[in-house]
Structure formats: C-alpha cells, structure tokens
Amino acid sequence: MRTSWPPITPSPTPPPDRSAGAPGPRADLVDLLRGALPAEALRPGVDVRQVRPDGTVVHGGGTSTADLVVGADGVHSVTRRSVWPRLPGPRYVGYTTWRLLAPPRPVEGSVETWGRGERFGHVPMPDGRVYCHLMANAPAGTRVGLAELRERFARWHDPIPALLRSARPEEVLQHDTYELPELDTYVCGRVAILGDAAHAMTPNLGQGACQALEDAVTLAAAVDSHGVPAGLAAYDRARRPRTQLVVRLSRQVGAPAHWRSAPLTVLRDAALPLLPAALLGRSLTATYTWAP
C-alpha cells in the first residue's frame, strides 16, 4: 500500500506471465503485419463508405465485390453501421486515457496505481523505454495536455512524476474510452466484422488488439477449412462468447479504479492487498492464455 496523497493502491494486476507474451510497441506489430503482405494487397488512403451483405464494397476508388468482406475498421466501423444500421453505437464509459512512451529508465516491473477516479500504470518495454498509461474520469471530449498531467500526478509516488517529466508532449496520445454493446452476431451474408468493429472494449486488460488478432486467426482458419458461409458461422460461434466475456471482465476489473467516493476507495485500498495474488492470477488466466 502506498501512503502518499491521494490514497493510492497497487492494482490487482497479476505479475506478467511471459508464456502469454511480452509487451511491445504497436508500431513494431504494424510493421510486422505490413511486411507479411504483398505490397499490392494494400491500398492506403482509400476510404470505405458502404458495405453490403452480398459482398459489395463502395469506397473512395469505386465499387468492388468480393466473396468475403472482413470489416476490421475499428470502433466506429462503417462496415458494422452499413450492415446492421439499427444497432446501438459505442458507449462512452466515463473516462479518458493518455498513453506515452517515456525514455529508457529502470522501473520496478509492471505497476498500476489507483487513486480516486484516476490511475497511472507503467510497463517496461524490451528496449528499456517505459510505456505509461493514465486514465481519469472526465466528460467525453475533454482534452488535457502533458503540462496539466505533470501537475495532476506531481504528488504520486516515484517514478510517476519523473516519468511524466521525461516525456515529450508530442508523444502523448489521448483517447476517450468506448465500449460496444454486445452484438447478436459478427457475420451477415459474405461479411464478417472483427476486432473493435465487433467488440470494442475498455483497455483495462490490454486485450483489444490481442482479441482482434485471435479473431483474425480464427476467421482465416474457419474459412480455409469450411468455405465462406459455414466458415463464417463457425467463426461467429467460436469468437462471440470469448470476446464478449473479455469485454465484461475488462469493464469489471477497471471499475473500482474509477470510484470517487472516499469511503469506497478506503475500503478498496484496505481489501485489495488481502486478496491472494494467485486468486487474482487464476481469475484472468483464461483471458491471457489462448491457443488457436
């Protein structure tokens, strides 16, 4: 338990299980995926405007048809909105998030610290840099820069103030946090959606992109084995229960970090250290371990 003000507590995040993977910069992953594709497969700068269940895609370069259309177009997916126009849109969960990579410095493992309606986490990267995430309750659209973040977290424990002092303003990303209501299906006709388009979630378990990758591997294998209609049905059956469970778990794990009530946060801070780490680890094992 930390003793500085505001009352703060290490989160119940279990020690990282390296068998479940190691953290790495998103840009490296994007480079890896891009490098695996033939150059002609990518058409940058073409915006998709409408997708129809029969495989028709209307885009900035004209109209195309395909046996299979995969909508991996993020939380505000045009694919989802075209194919399922009546579905409710993403819901703002009440907190905004900043991310940054601080210059290399030794830090004590992966730690997340909770305050009242705000939190700070840091994760050492393999190259020595330190990935930091900050979250705070705020109305959607609130914009706060690095100078204000330094001020806001100035009295938190080490190395938080130093990490923020070493960061560069142009490297700070801020995103409001959205979650998608549970969908009844991820497929329709010749169209499948995956990743945030299908199940945008809070970042509390660091699982959004991981689940998108699992979706992609499962979808490719299912279509390869069974063809389009049966493969899409198999993909939907396999992925919806798991991804929707992760969305719920992620929401629940993060909720106490955003409590603002003093009595509740005092209780939380007293109770959390009493929970056995093994119990916390076990409850998340199924999320962090997956085999195709």
Ligand X SMILES: Cc1cc2nc3c(=O)[nH]c(=O)nc-3n(C[C@H](O)[C@H](O)[C@H](O)COP(=O)(O)OP(=O)(O)OC[C@H]3O[C@@H](n4cnc5c(N)ncnc54)[C@H](O)[C@@H]3O)c2cc1C
The yes or no reply on residue 48 touching ligand X (CB under 6 A) is yes
Size of residue set near ligand X by CB under 6 A:
19
| Residue choice 209, 275, 277, 279 for contact with ligand X (CB under 6 A) | 209
The yes or no reply on residue 275 touching ligand X (CB under 6 A) is no
Report which residue type is found at 27.
A
* Cβ at position 209, least distance to ligand X in Å: 3
* Cβ at position 185, least distance to ligand X in Å: 17
Cβ within 8 Å of residue 268, ≥6 positions away: 9, 114, 256, 259
* Cβ at position 120, least distance to ligand X in Å: 13
The yes or no reply on residue 83 touching ligand X (CB under 6 A) is no
Q: E strands within 42-90?
A: 48-51, 56-59, 62-65, 69-71
- Of 206-214, 218-226, 232-240, 247-255, the segment contacting ligand X by CB under 6 A is 206-214
The DSSP output letter for 7 is P
The yes or no reply on residue 72 touching ligand X (CB under 6 A) is yes
| Residue choice 112, 196, 214, 269 for contact with ligand X (CB under 6 A) | 196
Is the separation of the CB atoms in 42 and 33 below 8 Å?
Answer: no
Task: State whether the Cα torsion 201-202-203-207 is positive or negative.
Answer: negative
The yes or no reply on residue 57 touching ligand X (CB under 6 A) is no
Task: State whether residue 113 is helix, strand or coil.
Answer: strand
Task: State whether the Cα torsion 268-273-277-279 is positive or negative.
Answer: negative
- Of 101-109, 114-122, 199-207, 274-282, the segment contacting ligand X by CB under 6 A is 199-207
**Per-position DSSP letters for 29-60, written without gaps between them:** HHHHHHHTS-GGG--TTPPEEEE-TTSEEEET
The yes or no reply on residue 183 touching ligand X (CB under 6 A) is no
The DSSP output letter for 154 is T
* Cβ at position 37, least distance to ligand X in Å: 14
Write the interaction track for ligand X spanning residues 129-168; mark x where CB under 6 A is met and - where it is not: ----------------------------------------
The yes or no reply on residue 74 touching ligand X (CB under 6 A) is yes
* Cβ at position 41, least distance to ligand X in Å: 14
Q: Name which of residues 235 to 274 contact ligand X (CB under 6 A).
A: none
Report which residue type is found at 124.
P
Cβ within 8 Å of residue 288, ≥6 positions away: 17, 20, 21
Q: If residue 122 lies in a helix (H) or strand (E), which one and from where to where?
A: strand 118-124
The yes or no reply on residue 195 touching ligand X (CB under 6 A) is yes
The yes or no reply on residue 99 touching ligand X (CB under 6 A) is yes
How far apart CA 130 and CA 125 sit, in angstroms, is: 6
Using CB under 6 A, list all residues that contact ligand X: 47-48, 72-74, 78, 97, 99, 175, 195-197, 203, 206-210, 212
